[in-house]
Amino acid sequence: MQTGAIADTFGNIENLVTLTSGQYTMGSLILMVSYGAHFAFIIYFLTSSLQLAPRYRIVPVLSAVVMASAGLSLLREFTTWQAAYTLIGGQYVPATDGESFTNAYRYGNWTITVPLLLSQLPIAFGLARSVTHKKIIRMSIPALLMIWTGLMGQFGETGDFARLNLWGVISTVFFVWLIVEVRGVITAGIANSPVEIKAWPANLWWYFLATWGLYPIAYALPQLGASGDVVVVRQLLFSIADISSKLLYGIILSRYVLRRSALEGYVPAAEALETTAIGAKAASARGD
Ligand code: RET
């Protein structure tokens, strides 16, 4: 049996605080919207792959895999959230009868999704196959070390802030290493993009930094104190980060490879973009 006392020494702050019904409902809502959005976009990514030149189809397909994997993980967070509180006198009190909430599943899920998200970059940028393989490995190593060291540290958030911060710093070192590797891929991506869409990888760089940078903020937040507001704001930050680093990122990459496909002469992509400058250019190149 998991009790509040065990959660206190080895767990997440969600198990320490009593929530108002507003805070509890906000938490449920945030997690529900997150898994709902991820599942729904499986359809978008699978169908949008049909418009792309064959070599780029794997990019949105990987997004669909990420959506399924993250959606399942977030659904699990949602059901655990619901089981982890008991309604007593109009307040939601951490349950003492077996179920406790944990964010650790997120870190397990990132182990799958993060290497897939990173793999999408060199494939979308059309880098040579051997370079692509090398880049994927070079990005995945610091990424996995970043996640697993962060997982070790997040168990300290219920009071052992020395543990939280020590592993947080180690994890950040791997994050910096990852950022350097990603910058290398972005630079190659800018060089290898048709002139009309060189701005896309350049802008994606800033988008990557802004969205991935939300995760360490969410990690550090419990140091502000274990309160219902911190619990809800942290779940909100995780969700904004999840939707932007996976779902919106996937849309950006799939639109980029659609333009790439058209510029490289793939007719269905040019037709899909007919009302844009790139579509018009691709059509005139065909003599339409
Ligand atoms: C941790 C620990 C504290 C220090 C740092 C972290 C960075 C986490 C990141 C996670 C990205 C996750 C993504 C998931 C998508 O499914 C581990 C919180 C720097 C950057 C993109």
Q: Is the CB of 167 under 6 A from ligand 1?
A: no
Q: What is the pLDDT of residue 288?
A: 65
Q: Is the CB of 70 under 6 A from ligand 1?
A: yes
Task: Give distance in angstroms: CA of 268 to centre of ligand 1.
Answer: 37
Probe ligand 1: pick from 63, 167, 175, max atoms within 8 Å of CB?
175
Q: What is the CA radius of gyration of the chain?
A: 21
Domain ranges for the chain: 12-285
**pLDDT one-digit tens code per residue, 215-248:** 999 999 999 999 999 999 999 999 999 999 999 9
Q: What is the pLDDT of residue 56?
A: 98
**pLDDT one-digit tens code per residue, 171-225:** 999 999 999 999 999 999 999 999 999 999 999 999 999 999 999 999 999 999 9
Quick one: angle between helices 58-83 and 104-124, nearest 10?
170
Distance of CA 51 to CAs 42, 48, 54, 145, 272, Å?
16, 6, 9, 36, 7
Long-range contacts of 208-215 (CB under 8 A, 24+ apart): 208/182, 208/245, 208/249, 209/179, 211/241, 211/244, 211/245, 211/248, 211/249, 212/175, 212/241, 212/245, 214/238, 214/240, 214/241, 214/244, 214/245, 215/241
Would the pLDDT of 285 be above 90? no
Q: Is the CB of 215 under 6 A from ligand 1?
A: yes
Q: What is the pLDDT of residue 278?
A: 83
Q: How far apart, in whole angstroms, are the C-alpha atoms of residue 123 and residue 272?
A: 21
Pick the atom of ligand 1 nearest to 107's CA: 17
Task: Give distance in angstroms: CA of 147 to centre of ligand 1.
Answer: 6
Average pLDDT of the chain is 93
Q: Is the CB of 212 under 6 A from ligand 1?
A: yes
Q: Is the CB of 278 under 6 A from ligand 1?
A: no
**pLDDT one-digit tens code per residue, 99-138:** 899 999 999 999 999 999 999 999 999 999 999 999 999 9
Which amino acid appears at position 197 of this protein?
I
CATH fold group of domain 12-285: Rhopdopsin 7-helix transmembrane proteins (1.20.1070)
**pLDDT one-digit tens code per residue, 19-39:** 999 999 999 999 999 999 999
Question: pTM score, two decimals?
Answer: 0.93
